[in-house]
Amino acid sequence: MPDVLLEFAKDIFILEGPCVPFFRIPYPTRSVIIKLQSGDGCFVWSPTDLPEEAAKEIEVKAGDVLFLVAPNKIHHIFLKQWTERYPDAKVLAAPGLKGRNAVKGVRIDGELTDNADGGYADDIDQVVFGGSCFMDEVVFYHKSSRTAIFTDLIQRFPAENAKGFKGSLLKLDGLVGENGSTPRDFRLTFLFGKKKARSAQKKILIGTQNG
């Protein structure tokens, strides 16, 4: 049986999940699993569906799940599934998620800020990308592999998946092609928060250049 986890870089794995509808457009889901250098376990970004074979492979390749992270307020669909399997994991959410009816009954231990949790700060930096009237997103940076991890701020759909009317909408939004882009409708939500967004952007650029 082939591996479920895709090794993206040293100590970073990708778990592909199912497509989920968002405004009737199917969006792919994926998780990023980072094995922490401490050797004690791993950090899970944007938990997606967790089949049994994936859980076993994570435990073998990355260790115990120590942190579960929801990087913005709409990436929570599978969070409960993971918290039930890993009750000892620390659950951290982007600003705006805790208290929503969508996560009622889901344990959230803390809110993500510009300061990484001490349990993974040696491996990962983070910045809250604010300025949008729709939602904040937390951007992460894996230091050793120099990998920046964005959620919905940067999106891309392959041309073969962008057909028909829905595909036309994706193309209109600038999301189809070789390079990732910020959806045009998402950009409009920063109209009155450009200063805050530029500040976050500057922190990301400085962090990636110095990393």
What is the residue range of 166's domain? Answer: 6-210
Domain-embedded: residue 167: yes
The total domain count for the chain is: 1
Is the per-residue pLDDT at 195 higher than 70? yes
According to the model, what pLDDT value does residue 130 have? 95
Rounded Cα gap, residues 143 and 146, in angstroms: 5
pTM: 0.90
Rounded Cα gap, residues 156 and 150, in angstroms: 12
pLDDT digits (tens, 9 = 90+) for 31-76: 999 999 987 899 999 999 999 999 999 999 999 999 999 999 999 9
Domain-embedded: residue 34: yes
Domain-embedded: residue 1: no
Cβ pair 34, 8 in contact under 8 A: no
According to the model, what pLDDT value does residue 161 have? 62
According to the model, what pLDDT value does residue 1 have? 46
pLDDT digits (tens, 9 = 90+) for 129-181: 999 999 999 999 999 999 999 999 988 776 666 667 666 777 777 777 777 78
Q: Which of 2, 3, 64 is nearest to 33 (CA)?
A: 64
